[in-house]
Amino acid sequence: MKILIIQLRQLGDILLTTPVISALKQHIDRSEIYFLSHSMGRMILDGNPDIKSTFYYRDDDTLKKSWHLIQTIRQHRFDYVIDFMNNPRSAMFTLLSGAAQNLSFSSRRSFLYKKVIPRDDPNWSEEPYIVEQKFRLLAPWTVATQEAYKHPMVIPFNHEQSQRPLTFWHDIKNQRATSIPGDAPKVVIAATHRRENRMWPLDHYAQLANVLVNTCGAHIVWLWGPGELPVAEQCKKLCPASTVIAPQTSFRELAALIANADLFIGNSNGPSHVSVAVGTPSLQLHGSTIASAWCPKTTLHQAIQSPTSLMSDITVNHVAKTCLEMISSKSYQNFRETFALAVQTSADARNRAKMCLHKNT
């Protein structure tokens, strides 16, 4: 069976769709999985061993180029198209694909699809994790939503892409070796977000970092992406303790950097999904977004929901207390021991070790 998955954007949403790929491969014999996304998806999808081939479009594609893409898709004669995006563009691709069957979530565009699945399940007592929601579209193959936890997200990164992050962590530990215990936790913090109202105040992050350094000697690294360096610099400036700004990285180098950390702290942003994908324990902070929808329900990943919709109403004491509890927890210690068993210097091997642990929590 030839299946085309459509999730056009954003990076986090594309990453959150990758568990579906391995689930379909497992449940459908001799299946071939294809993926259609915006060209940004290359950072995640290229090299995924379960994907037969990918299709990418760009915002500046001409009408001729767009039509050529549609013709290429039609030539594959797909048996099924699964549209996870469910917006006008993805609906157009679905309709013009010529697939024998297609499906998406119910919406005002339901009439364009041969099968629609309601987003909600009456058996859900609370807002489900977003990957569980995506698994609702696998109903035709009797894949249970709970299987979302059996199939981790995938970010392939190779030995070359892991070397700079590994060297970076090695240098940090060497520079602080005289004053910091050898087993001090390596903590990465992503204080950024595309929407300002979904960012915890930067001075709060700085206070938190100061507490972690003074309490457990944590190695604090501020993460940043394109256009976000000023945020990391401001956090470092506001923090009285010594902290470090991450180097400029590619997306997969960022994944390797987080994969070799012991704890991730941040807003509900792209790096928070990366931390889950590579198996690094994480703490997400949520204001107007629903924590239970974006944080997987496992022992290694936790979230704090603001008592109001305001991020500023999450207190530093609450976050610091949760971080320290996570660091001292049995599951966290088991994580570090399991991680230590991956004696290979390659971040690929360490990543696989973390994946195995994540699937068992």
Consecutive 10-residue runs of the chain (361 residues): their mean pLDDT? 96 94 93 97 93 96 95 97 95 95 94 91 78 93 89 84 86 73 86 92 97 94 95 97 94 92 94 92 95 89 94 96 91 73 44 40 32
Could you tell me the CATH superfamily of domain 2-149? Answer: Glycogen Phosphorylase B; (3.40.50.2000)
Common-topology check for domains 2-149 and 159-360: yes
pLDDT at 207: 97
pLDDT at 344: 39
Radius of gyration of the chain (CA): 21
- Tell me the domain boundaries of the chain: 2-149, 159-360
Report the predicted TM-score, pTM, of the whole model to 2 decimal places. Answer: 0.88
- In whole angstroms, what is the distance from residue 194 CA to residue 359 CA? 30
Strand partners, 105: 117
pLDDT at 355: 42
C-beta separation of 297 from 323 below 8 A:
no
- In whole angstroms, what is the distance from residue 50 CA to residue 30 CA? 12
Q: Which helix (H) or strand (E) segment is 36 a member of?
A: strand 32-38
- In whole angstroms, what is the distance from residue 274 CA to residue 39 CA? 19
C-beta separation of 336 from 184 below 8 A:
no
Domain 159-360 class?
alpha beta
Q: Is 172 exposed, middle or buried (0-12, 13-18, 19+ CB in 10 A)?
A: middle
